[in-house]
Structure 1
Amino acid sequence: MTKDSNTPTVRTEEIDGIFVITIDRPKARNAIDGATARALATAVDYLEAHEDLRVGILTGAGGVFSAGMDLKAFAAGDMPIIEGRGFAGITRAKISTPLIAAVEGYALGGGTEMALACDMIVAARNATFGQTEVRYGIVPPEGGMVRLPERIPHNIALELLLTGESLPAERAERFGLVNELTEPGQALTRALELASSIALNAPLAIEAVKRVVNERRAFSDQDAFVDQDLITAPVLASHDAQEGAHAFAERRQPHWQRR
């Protein structure tokens, strides 16, 4: 049985206890603006409010997961941050339902951070992850610096964070970031299979397992975000941050002024 729901930028579908959330801005490579962040937060609230929905899947339309923050919107003052819930209403939210990222194509910047906020990642072989923020005068404060070094080797995480270079899915799978690789176009199909195997199990047991595993790290995560925000707030509010966004929008090289 399926049930569909749509907004201009997010589509949702219920399939036998599985809730599929699809970012639907393919012309913008599913980059997240304020409206999309609010729609995603609403979709997650719906998932959390319905006990018959056992597992969630987050994916993107048009063969792309998400290019992260919509830098053109950011340059115009539109922030895709939800108070208390982070980027896209997901990265700092407390989500009790298991959530799987089904990644095709690019998952860059905030796209990688959304995937890191999920419990598992299924990715197509042509998928690409990456924290590209340093190239635009900003930093990845929504999980990139907190979660990535916990999911892959510390030195590799630093390499990616400091260079802004991409991480191909096959390399990500070798480091343990990706649970399973699929052929291109099959990530959602495999994520649905994985979600179905989870949804068959006892709901109270599923909830307890996720709660114990996540709360084991909860305090360290919360402290890390607090400490991180004190360091990065001046960077995100800097002239260089605005310059990076404007340079992207104007398709030119940025001119850094260290202020």
Structure 2
Amino acid sequence: MTSGTEHLVVERVGATLVLALNRPEAKNALSLPMLVGLYDGWLEADADDSVRSVVLTGAGGVFCAGMDLKALAGGGRMAGDHYRARLKEDPDLHWKAMLRHHRPRKPVIAAVEGHCVAGGTEILQGTDIRIAGHGATFGLYEVRRGLFPIGGSTVRLARQVPRTHALEMLLTGRPYAAEEAARIGLIGHVVEDGAALDKALEIAALINANGPLAVEAVKESVYETAGMTETEGLRSELERGWPVFDTADAKEGSKAFAEKRPPVYRRA
């Protein structure tokens, strides 16, 4: 089990791995310790078969305010220089941490409170299910600073929300309240402030009770077929879906249903 870093707290709640961005004094602005901890967390979730889901959240009532602009203005170096060896070993590490160049095979649920802007909204687009407190704020502020949202938003956002909303968010750099973010489809649930993590863990528990091989295959199929034609996608779905029916877990699911008991899945 990874111990996280000074800017990334790792906690296990049942079969869910909870990753908490932990730099509240800077609104959880991205830092090297945070990025290294995030990437290690994604790798741990992928490698540990007892982990069925991941929840990404932020400490101190804030999700993430994006890049550390103060550090950038001061010379372009973020806190945590002793982590630079990791970045030198893998120059793509920060993009993997931000879910730009890495997709965990386990479902990732975002639990958002407070600011989730710029790089925070970019990381959000790499998650699968999204819950926010009523007072959460979203937005891609980069153009306001003469910057480019290079964390994937010019590609992903218009695939996740209608293009007119994506372009408005990208080109105006304005903030979006949680209710508006839900209305355009950026997030799925709005809850009372302080309740996002509880709701995320509630959804995670529902996922964790399901067959893990089936869950992972379903997630992969959704992303794998996103850029295909319907005919190609349906063909791909059969190729990925049929093998699931041959697993011991599939047989256990049917047997448990017939015996009116909870299934015991063994990833087999």
Scaled to the shorter chain, the TM-score interval is 0.7 to 0.9
Q: Indicate conservation of the 8 Å contact 2:10/2:41, yes or no.
A: yes
Match for 2:192 among 179, 183, 190?
A: 183
| Alpha-carbon displacement from aligned partner over 1:64-101 (angstroms, at most 9, x marks no partner) | 00001111233322369850661644232121110011
One-letter amino acid matched to 1:151: Q
* Equivalent residue, structure 2, for 1:68: 66
* Equivalent residue, structure 2, for 1:158: 167
Q: Indicate conservation of the 8 Å contact 1:37/1:88, yes or no.
A: yes
Residue 143 in structure 1 maps to residue 152 in structure 2: yes
Mapping for residues 25-104 of structure 1, pairs under 5 Å:
25-75=23-73, 76-78=75-77, 83=92, 86=95, 88-104=97-113
CA shift in 2, pair 1:153/1:218, >3 Å: closer
Alpha carbon RMSD of aligned pairs, Å?
2.1
Runs of 4+ aligned structure 1 residues displaced above 4 Å come to: 79-82
Unaligned stretches of 5+ residues in structure 1: 221-259
TM-score, scaled to structure 2: 0.76
Q: Indicate conservation of the 8 Å contact 1:19/1:53, yes or no.
A: yes
Counterpart-to-counterpart distance in 2, 1:152 and 1:169: 15
CA shift in 2, pair 1:119/1:16, >3 Å: same
One-letter amino acid matched to 1:161: L
Q: Indicate conservation of the 8 Å contact 2:36/2:94, yes or no.
A: no
Counterpart-to-counterpart distance in 1, 2:144 and 2:54: 32
Match for 1:24 among 11, 22, 25?
A: 22
TM-score, scaled to structure 1: 0.79
- Of all paired residues, the percent bearing the same amino acid is 41
One-letter amino acid matched to 1:28: A
Q: Deviation of residue 6 (structure 1)?
A: 4.0
- SS across alignment from 1:134: helix
Q: Deviation of residue 143 (structure 1)?
A: 2.1
| Alpha-carbon displacement from aligned partner over 1:139-183 (angstroms, at most 9, x marks no partner) | 111122111112222111111111100111101111122111110
Match for 2:217 among 208, 212, 218?
A: 208
CA shift in 2, pair 1:145/1:170, >3 Å: same
- Structure 1 or 2: more strand by fraction: 1
- SS across alignment from 1:86: helix
Mapping for residues 129-140 of structure 1, pairs under 5 Å:
129-140=138-149
Match for 1:108 among 112, 117, 120?
A: 117
Q: Deviation of residue 135 (structure 1)?
A: 1.1
